[in-house]
Amino acid sequence: MASSRLETVKLQLLAVRVLRALKPLYSYRELAKLVGLPPSMLCRYTRGITIPSPEHAKRIVECVLEEGRLREIILRKLDVKEGYIDTRSIFSDSSMLSLVSAYLAKKYGNAKVTKVLVPEARGIPLATAIALELDAQLVIARRVKDNPYEDYVESIALDNTYNPIYFYVPRKHISYKDRVLIVDDLVESGQTLRALLTIVEHCKAKLVGIFILVAIGSAWRKNLNVNAPMEAILELSRPLARNR
């Protein structure tokens, strides 16, 4: 009974967080159309004057935290121009980080993720938010061995000019007992993700899934070919110059 009550309270608080994350992007009238609740009621929820009922909280979360809706929200916020994409507008906004991490919590909340693995790049803030939401530990695949006394697992990826990029994870940070979610902000060839998968496989950990914010093209799916869920919120068909 206590556990059920706790889950209900978590859902109500999640609904408030979701509304607050959306408010900079949508008017109350737009939010009302989105979730089917009066603007005045949503205003009270967003300002913390009242807390959504369990029924309203469920409606808000289910309406907003579904893949198509999140894609629309990301597009509103993401800086995408001809030949250029910049994910910093997402990672510098705590509301957006909260929204995406809430989506992942809804998706992987029952998967018992113990580690969130991310390459050393701009995806670290997102992976941090997701790890906090899932109550998991964050593991960063660094590009250098920053501790000469540490035993590392090493993996190699190739950049766009086929130069090797090395990734290192302390061996003690991932074990066969772990359930790992891999997170990255941007993928095209899938080389970096392949390197992270090699680390997970070497440690004999369980891969729970792969989550990417933005994917370019479809080659990355073919290059990975893993028996685990792979999801990109936003998929773009044409190559873009990346500012990472």
Q: What is the rounded CA–CA span in Å between residue 106 and residue 98?
A: 12
Q: How confident is the model at residue 244 (pLDDT cuts 50, 70, 90)?
A: very low
We report the CATH number of the domain holding residue 203 as 3.40.50.2020
Both 28 and 96 in a single domain?
no
Any domain includes 226 = yes
Buried b (16+ CB within 10 A) or exposed e, 169-207: bbeebbeeebbbbbbbbbbbbbbbbbbbbbbbeebebbb
Any domain includes 69 = no
Both 113 and 217 in a single domain?
yes
Any domain includes 170 = yes
* Overall domain count for the chain: 2
Residues in a beta bridge with 182: 117, 210
High-pLDDT (> 90) share of the chain, %? 48
Both 92 and 156 in a single domain?
yes
Better-predicted residue by pLDDT, 234 or 42 = 42
- For strands 241-242 and 84-86, give the pairing: parallel
Better-predicted residue by pLDDT, 218 or 60 = 60
* Predicted confidence (pLDDT) per residue in 123-180, tens digit: 899 999 999 989 999 999 999 998 888 999 999 988 776 789 999 999 999 999 999 9
Give residue 85's pLDDT: 75
Query: Containing domain of residue 102, as a range?
Result: 78-242
Both 123 and 188 in a single domain?
yes
Both 138 and 215 in a single domain?
yes
